[in-house]
Chain A
Amino acid sequence: MNTVNLTCIGCPLGCQIEVLMDDDKNIRLITGNTCPRGEKYARKEVTAPTRIVTSSVRVYGSRQGERMVSLKTASDIPKEKIMDVIRDLRGVSVPCPVRIGDVLLHNIAGTGVDMIATKDVD
């Protein structure tokens, strides 16, 4: 058995939720939440937490003199892959122009998810 402590992000109350898990990673007990949203959040966070990762990489050839373009994972990736995604972005430089939604890198860090631009840069 082990306990995972979480802060619920559902509302400003920020309930401190305790999740009791057995050795096979099955959820045995969720306490501390004060509404069903808290339970749902805790379940997702302890079984398969995911995040959108945002960052920025260099651009070259910008007429506007821009140095960076921002980008994000096109969808959620597993939380434990965040640093792998960031590692794959190191040293990346992309040519202008860039449009919002352009795929800048395919299948980042083997997640099956693309990195797409979040800014127009000319």
Chain B
Amino acid sequence: MERTEYNLIIIGGGPAGLAAAVAAYDAGERSILILERETRLGGILNQCIHNGFGLHTFQEELTGPEYAQRFIDKVLERGIEYKLDTMVMSIGQGEDGSKEVMAVNEADGLLLLKARALILAMGCRERSRGALNIPGFRPAGIFSAGTAQRLVNIEGYLPGRRVVILGSGDIGLIMARRMTLEGAKVLVCAELMPYSGGLKRNIVQCLDDFGIPLKLSHTVVRIEGKERVEGVVIAQVGPDRKPIPGTEEHYDCDTLLLSVGLLPENELTIGLGAEISRITNGPVVNESLETSVPGVFAAGNVLHVHDLVDYVSEEAHLAGERAAEYITACKDAMCAPPEKEKQIPVAFSGGIRYTVPCTIDPDKIGDWLKIRFRVGDVMTQRKVVLCLDSEPVLVKKRRVMAPGEMEELVLTRKVLAAHPDLSSIEIRIEEDKA
């Protein structure tokens, strides 16, 4: 009889799921199962064959598959169980407080699994053409950048020869270079915003190196062709992001790649009934990365979209440790006894869009806690101020902040210790006049 009860089930075997599994194991948990819908562990890293991963974690520049393998090896060394080709259909809660997972795969058929705790590590997916409202037919030749990346790097197909890219997210930039190296001509990269959402390094090494123009404040207004893309018309946009008549430019091309944002993949989380942030589209979590459903934790791109995998691994490590602690607190029951919570919301202002975590119980912070956030616009000469009970306890100067680069503040136990009856936590961005 196939085993159906585990202490911890991790949904997703990408960088977040792998790091969470390793951390939970190292915290003493031995009953762990990872469920992965692809045919191998590693998640999206398997198709990210460019280098630049792991500078923070391993102090070297690895490619995506190499970074993934470091964590896969850790999972294998520990003998952590995993199932591949397994799609989770729904998650829920049993009457005894257990977490129920319904999954399917070819070997087992329908799987009904039970766990004391879950870690959500499903990652994210790309925003599609449908979300953009570009008028026109639906010819072949329109791909998300990530789909093109998979076709080139995993399947070994070149999806087109003359390419226009809409959006300057990192995957779009990486694919501009990749398609060029594989023999395609990348004509232009158009970005709706007046700044790129991609890393500077990628703009230089993926566009500038190959003479590919980046047109800021531009968007696609028309896609030509009925069966296959035959051309794309891009136009400049005004401050209202609406196309300016008379600025249209036509490009003869057979392919349009879209790199227009990533969305956390939370259908399962919503089905579970966990509270979702309208800003991140990920679950609302506390300092332990626990969602509004006790015993269900989240980490990585399912929680909020990251720029660097190193931070995903770090975040997932915390989720793994906290899930292991939760399971210990369960004792013989299927869930931990409810506790008196002292959750303080993290307030923010001055251009911050969101923070992770959203709430903090000061008694549950280890030696330190990283608060991660993003700003909504490019800002220069600022300082980030952390206030506990309205008293500034930490000031971090930032010469520049951009929506494309995640920011962080470290709240230490030492700083917290000076505020034993804490009732408010606030992060503000202020102008730095000095």
Contact = CB atoms under 8 A, between A and B. Distances in A.
Contact of A54 (B50, B154, B204, B380): B50
Interface string B370-385: 0000000000100000
Interface in A52-85: 52-56, 58, 64-68, 70, 72, 79, 82-83
Interface residues of A, number: 32
B401 interface: yes
Nearest to B207: A7
A8 B39 CA distance: 40
Most A CB within 10 A of own CB, among B39, B62, B200: B200
B152 interface: yes
Interface string B392-434: 0000000111101100000000000000000000000000000
Contacts of B209: 51, 79, 82
Given A7-B203, A56-B153, A119-B69, A72 B181 contact: no
B49 A55 contact: yes
A67 B69 contact: no
Interface in B3-49: 39-40, 46, 49
B200 A118 contact: no
Interface in B45-89: 46, 49-51, 61-63, 65-66, 69
Interface of B: 39-40, 46, 49-51, 61-63, 65-66, 69, 152-156, 181-182, 199-201, 203-205, 208-209, 380, 399-402, 404-405
Given A6-B204, A12-B200, A119-B49, 12 more contacts: A7-B203, A11-B200, A13-B400, A14-B203, A53-B181, A54-B49, A56-B152, A64-B39, A68-B154, A79-B209, A100-B65, A120-B69
Nearest 9 CB-CB pairs, A to B?
A70-B49, A119-B65, A9-B201, A118-B63, A14-B200, A13-B400, A67-B156, A68-B156, A9-B200
A118 B49 contact: yes
Contacts of A66: 154
Interface of A: 6-14, 34, 51-56, 58, 64-68, 70, 72, 79, 82-83, 86, 100, 118-120
Contacts, number: 83
B49 A12 contact: no
18 contacts: A7-B203, A8-B200, A11-B200, A11-B400, A12-B401, A13-B400, A14-B200, A52-B51, A53-B181, A54-B51, A56-B152, A68-B153, A68-B154, A72-B63, A118-B65, A119-B69, A120-B65, A120-B69
Given A11-B400, A56-B152, A56-B156, A51 B203 contact: no
A56 B200 contact: no
Contact of B46 (A10, A67, A72, A119): A119
B404 A12 contact: yes
B65 A68 contact: no
A64 B40 contact: yes
A53 B39 CA distance: 27
A70 B155 CA distance: 11
